[in-house]
Amino acid sequence: MTIFLQQQGGGMSMIIMMVAIFAIMYFFMIRPQNKKQKEIQKFRNSITPGTDVVTAGGIYGKVKEVNEMDNTLMVEVASGVKIKIAKNSVYASAPADAASGK
């Protein structure tokens, strides 16, 4: 009878350890990632013409037009050179001096 109780107690400690590992992973990995994604989405929703941005491909530019219908942006990357990009490919705002090429 005592052997059965010892085995059951060992199983309970294993479950507690698994819960603890999941909690650590949640607070150190999953939660910060979700927070960062919400921050990026908030930035994307606040983009207006004149905002300096950096795309996922590393292209710096200034937003000239925002098209909410097809979720795209028209970005000027050089004087007179505009490219159309997906709004979801913008990850950060760029410093004003970096986007102007100075």
Cα–Cα distance for residue pair 57/37, rounded to 1 Å: 18
Cα–Cα distance for residue pair 40/20, rounded to 1 Å: 30
Q: Domain with 58 in it: what CATH number?
A: 2.30.30.140
Count CB-CB contacts under 10 A for residue 94.
18
Hey, what are 92's tokens? Answer: 């950060």
What's the whole-model pTM score? 0.64
Quote the domain boundaries for residue 73: 48-99
Q: Are residues 33 and 70 in the same domain?
A: no
Q: Are residues 11 and 35 in the same domain?
A: yes
Q: Are residues 62 and 82 in the same domain?
A: yes
Q: Are residues 61 and 89 in the same domain?
A: yes
Domain count, the chain: 2
Average pLDDT over residues 56-73: 92
Model confidence over 24-41: pLDDT tens digits? Answer: 998 899 999 999 989 988
Hey, what are 43's tokens? Answer: 């930035």
Model confidence over 70-88: pLDDT tens digits? Answer: 999 999 999 999 999 999 9
Q: Are residues 59 and 86 in the same domain?
A: yes
Count CB-CB contacts under 10 A for residue 66.
14
Q: If residue 96 lies in a helix (H) or strand (E), which one and from where to where?
A: helix 96-99
